[in-house]
Amino acid sequence: MSASLGMFWLDGAESAAAFDPVLPGLIVLLPLLGFLANGWLALRHAERSADAVRRGEELDLDTGGRPSTHTLPSLIGPGVLLASFALVVVNFVRMSAVELHDPVVVRYWTWMATGTFTVDAALQFDQLSMIMMLVVTGVGFLIHVFSVGYMKDDPGYPRYFAYLNLFVFFMLVLVTGASFPVMFVGWEGVGLCSYLLIGFWFGDREKSDAGKKAFIVNRIGDFGFLVALFILFINFQTLDFVTVFGEAPEALTYGGGVVTAITLFLLLGAAGKSAQIPLYVWLPDAMAGPTPVSALIHAATMVTAGVYMVARASVLFALSPVGSVTVAGVGVATALFAATIALTQTDIKKVLAYSTVSQLGYMFLGVGVGAYAAGVFHLMTHAFFKALLFLGSGAVIHSMHHALHHTHNPADAQDMRNMGGMRRFMPFTALAMWIATLAIAGIWPFAGFFSKDEIIWYAGAAAVGPYAGLYTVYWVLALAAAMLTAFYMTRMMVMTFHGANRTGDEESKHLHEAPWTMTVPLGVLAVLSMFGGWINVPEAIRESFLGLGGALPMSEWLHHWLEPITHAATQVREEALLAAGALAGQEHDYGFLHHAPFGGGELTWALVSTVAAAVVVAGTVLWVRGWSLAPASESPEPTGFRKVLYDKWYVDELYDRIIVQPLLAVSRFFWRFIDQVIIDGFVNVVGGGARAVGWFVSLFQTGSVNTYAFVITLGVLAILGAVVAGG
Rounded to a whole number of angstroms, the minimum distance from the CB of residue 687 to other proteins is 22
Site for other proteins in 28-67 (CB under 8 A): none
If the CB atoms of residues 2 and 704 are measured against other proteins, the closer one turns out to be 704
- Nearest 5 degrees, angle CA 244-CA 375-CA 454? 140
Selected range binding other proteins among 31-39, 290-298, 670-678, 717-725, rule: CB under 8 A: 717-725
Asked whether 264 and 368 are in contact (CB, 8 A), the reply is: no
Alpha-carbon distances, residue 372 vs 300, 369, 479 (angstroms): 18, 8, 19
If the CB atoms of residues 10 and 720 are measured against other proteins, the closer one turns out to be 720
Rounded to a whole number of angstroms, the minimum distance from the CB of residue 695 to other proteins is 14
Sign for the CA dihedral angle at 397, 403, 406, 412 comes to: negative
If the CB atoms of residues 664 and 714 are measured against other proteins, the closer one turns out to be 714
If the CB atoms of residues 500 and 722 are measured against other proteins, the closer one turns out to be 722
If the CB atoms of residues 639 and 698 are measured against other proteins, the closer one turns out to be 698
- Transcribe 436-487 into DSSP letters: HHHHHHT-TTSHHHHHHHHHHHHHHHT--STTHHHHHHHHHHHHHHHHHHHH
Q: Residue type for 73, please?
A: P
Q: What are phi and psi of 123, to 5 degrees?
A: -110, 145
How many residues sit close enough to other proteins to count as binding (CB under 8 A)?
17
Site for other proteins in 286-345 (CB under 8 A): none
What does the alpha-carbon distance between residue 73 and residue 16 come to, in Å, rounded to a whole number?
39
If the CB atoms of residues 253 and 713 are measured against other proteins, the closer one turns out to be 713
Kind plus residue range of the DSSP H or E element containing 623: helix 602-625
Rounded to a whole number of angstroms, the minimum distance from the CB of residue 698 to other proteins is 9
If the CB atoms of residues 500 and 705 are measured against other proteins, the closer one turns out to be 705
Rounded to a whole number of angstroms, the minimum distance from the CB of residue 717 to other proteins is 6
* SS3 state of residue 179: strand
If the CB atoms of residues 660 and 718 are measured against other proteins, the closer one turns out to be 718
* SS3 state of residue 113: strand
Rounded to a whole number of angstroms, the minimum distance from the CB of residue 701 to other proteins is 5
If the CB atoms of residues 116 and 701 are measured against other proteins, the closer one turns out to be 701
Question: What residues are paired with 105 via a beta bridge?
Answer: 124
Distance between first and last Cα of the chain: 69
Rounded to a whole number of angstroms, the minimum distance from the CB of residue 709 to other proteins is 5
* SS3 state of residue 183: helix
Selected range binding other proteins among 206-214, 517-525, 622-630, 718-726, rule: CB under 8 A: 718-726
What does the alpha-carbon distance between residue 149 and residue 157 come to, in Å, rounded to a whole number?
11
Site for other proteins in 468-507 (CB under 8 A): none
3-state SS string for 122-139: EEEECHHHHHHHHHHHHH
If the CB atoms of residues 253 and 702 are measured against other proteins, the closer one turns out to be 702
If the CB atoms of residues 665 and 720 are measured against other proteins, the closer one turns out to be 720
Q: What are phi and psi of 537, to 5 degrees?
A: -75, 125
Burial 543-564 (b: 16+ CB within 10 A, else e): ebebbeeeebeebbebbebbeb
Rounded to a whole number of angstroms, the minimum distance from the CB of residue 686 to other proteins is 25
Residue 723 contacts other proteins per CB under 8 A: yes
Rounded to a whole number of angstroms, the minimum distance from the CB of residue 725 to other proteins is 9
Site for other proteins in 687-716 (CB under 8 A): 701-706, 708-710, 713-714, 716
Question: What residues are paired with 589 via a beta bridge?
Answer: 592
What does the alpha-carbon distance between residue 274 and residue 264 come to, in Å, rounded to a whole number?
15
* SS3 state of residue 347: strand
Rounded to a whole number of angstroms, the minimum distance from the CB of residue 693 to other proteins is 17
Asked whether 464 and 593 are in contact (CB, 8 A), the reply is: yes
- Transcribe 19-36 into DSSP letters: ---SSHHHHHHHHHHHHH
Taking CB under 8 A as the criterion, the residue among 580, 664, 665, 720 binding other proteins is 720
Asked whether 236 and 242 are in contact (CB, 8 A), the reply is: no
* SS3 state of residue 489: helix
If the CB atoms of residues 50 and 714 are measured against other proteins, the closer one turns out to be 714
If the CB atoms of residues 16 and 705 are measured against other proteins, the closer one turns out to be 705
Rounded to a whole number of angstroms, the minimum distance from the CB of residue 703 to other proteins is 3
Taking CB under 8 A as the criterion, the residue among 16, 697, 699, 724 binding other proteins is 724
Instruction: Kindly tell me the number of DSSP H helices and DSSP E strands found in the chain.
Output: 29, 4
What does the alpha-carbon distance between residue 372 and residue 388 come to, in Å, rounded to a whole number?
24
Rounded to a whole number of angstroms, the minimum distance from the CB of residue 702 to other proteins is 6
Rounded to a whole number of angstroms, the minimum distance from the CB of residue 44 to other proteins is 49
Q: Residue type for 570, please?
A: T
Rounded to a whole number of angstroms, the minimum distance from the CB of residue 694 to other proteins is 13
Kind plus residue range of the DSSP H or E element containing 184: helix 180-198
Question: By rule CB under 8 A, what string of x and - marks binding of each residue 652-691 to other proteins?
Answer: ----------------------------------------
- Site for other proteins, rule CB under 8 A: 701-706, 708-710, 713-714, 716-717, 720-721, 723-724
